[in-house]
Chain A
Amino acid sequence: MNFIDWLLFSIQVSRKLTNSYYLIMLVITLIAVFLLFKMRFRRFSFNLWLISGLICLLWEAYLFTTGARHYNFAPALELPYHALTEAGPGLIIMILFAHKIKLIDISEYSDDYEPKPREIPEPKAEESKILKPKIKSEEDTEEETSPGAFEE
């Protein structure tokens, strides 16, 4: 076997499932929808769903059109169903669970998140002294302007 043959060596990855798999995916999708509403991460979760669904759809469509993916029945239905239910909901549950167990903090992407108003720091006492313009006292001005000041 030369290098090119090795590169193109066919590896079959298959899933031995029953049709109840589609029902399980529907249940997982419903759980994800329930969680994203309950935990108030609607916008972020729908973004995740959209992107992962698109990645999955493009990837699967590429595999399918090149003959690398085989479905049991009705690929036109299975392919979008697979993209819609498998990638997004699983990812949403995963990320929300990671947030829940405080592995990651995504509270800034919550629907209830309000950015804190920017605080303008007050200058410190020492800095304010430095920044203040030095007002010359009357005595200083008298010394400078007195006629005797320049006399030897």
Chain B
Amino acid sequence: MFRSVPVVDTFRDRLPATIHVLFGIGFIALFLLLPIALLVINSLNFGGELLENYRIALSDVYLRAIFNSLFIAAVTTPILLLLAFFVSYFIIFQTERTRLMLGLVLLPMWIAYIIRYLGIQLFLYPNGPVVSVFDTNFGLLFSTAGVVLGLVSGFLPFAVLPIYNSLSGVDRDLIDASSVMGATRLSTIRHVMVPLSIPGFVTAGLLVFILSAGAFLAPDILGGPSDLMIANMIERSYSEIFDINLAAALAVIYTGILLTLLVAFNSYLNIGEVLSDV
């Protein structure tokens, strides 16, 4: 009934543990970390003033784009956390169609960002449904608000997964106890559910902050000329003004900010959780 596959003798002994792990680390090191390290060399100006590219990258439009990235991420993150908590609460406690409602939140993760941002454009276009009903798109297109709307729509599934996992792990008896003791629903949410879901909030917050700050398509498709973020500046330096060294300096600055955040929150970060339900 069970036919075993013959295995060649040379594979007799299982590879030692280090080789398994080194295989993965080597792949990432060789094709991601090394290329990024090479950007550091690009970013330094060995002929003249060593940090010339960094001086440019930290001035004028480039500095503004760096601040803009952090600002937009700082606005988007709390909105995402709030909506993600609401959706998770709704799915766990307020609907009987749990699988369907969770599935509808996760479905957009499968669809390319460029298609979803195109859909937002079409929704808000002068000949789209919003303008034909309200006669205005409320300034949501080609503006900072448009970028935030795009990022919220784009990254909401990433915020929901960790918070949903945390919240659905909260012991139901604690929730019942709280309401038996006379707490209102809001007070139970505030004093029981939110505090017990903190790990989910931290993972979700860190992940969507990083993803938002590094966004390229949302500002490109939904933002105005003053909404450019650091990723757009890297692309422009590289593809439009062909200043690879400046692009490299901007990339190194962004990676520096990111690594600082990662190191600071490393013990909290459990991105595996984010995808455990996919």
The answer to whether A and B assemble together is no
